[in-house]
Amino acid sequence: MNRFSFWLLPPKKIQDIYRKLTTPKFEPHITIAFAGLLKGEAKSILPVVGKAVKNIRPIPIELTEVSVSTTYFQCVFARIKPNLELLRAHQLINSALRHHDPSMYVPHLSLVYGNLDLAQRFAIAREIKLPVTRFFADRLCVINADSLNPKTWKQVAEFKL
């Protein structure tokens, strides 16, 4: 079994701006779905995702503020103003995968991962400026995230929206 994550990506120019902030190194991304442990391999998941992506157009993204949480994967992030297109894409991908996520979807652009204490998280968040706050996410990629270590993650596919 494999663990897959499904990310929306900003245009490459904007991704380059935010890549400088990410720690440990990972692509700045908006998780659209995390399917946890799925039975099967990427080859069985990719056609399903590809079919769903045909119903998704580039998604307007508006970053609102830099924030923190107490989790490793949401250490420091930029909140995203929810919109119909984004929530619809989240729903389409999860439905296509027949995946039910019981948690509330909180759209965000991941910037920093880590097990930092709260004071460090807030200090980092205060230093981050958002040079570009509006763009269209124009790609969806599938990441094999078998381990919780971002250094081992591998992109297995990318779909143009």
What integer pLDDT is reported at residue 36 of this predicted model? 61
Residue 105 pLDDT class (50, 70, 90 cuts): confident
What integer pLDDT is reported at residue 1 of this predicted model? 58
Q: What is the domain partition of the chain in residue ranges?
A: 2-160
Q: Which two tokens stand for residue 58?
A: 């580039």
The arithmetic mean of pLDDT across residues 113-130, rounded, is 93
Q: By the 8 A CB rule, do 5 and 145 touch?
A: yes
Q: Tokens 């499904």 label which residue?
A: 6
Residue range 2-160, CATH number: 3.90.1140.10
What integer pLDDT is reported at residue 102 of this predicted model? 73
What integer pLDDT is reported at residue 39 of this predicted model? 56
Tens-digit pLDDT profile for residues 2-61: 788 899 999 888 888 887 766 667 788 998 987 665 556 788 889 999 999 999 999 999
What pTM was estimated for this model as a whole? 0.87
φ, ψ dihedrals at 101, nearest 5°: -105, 110
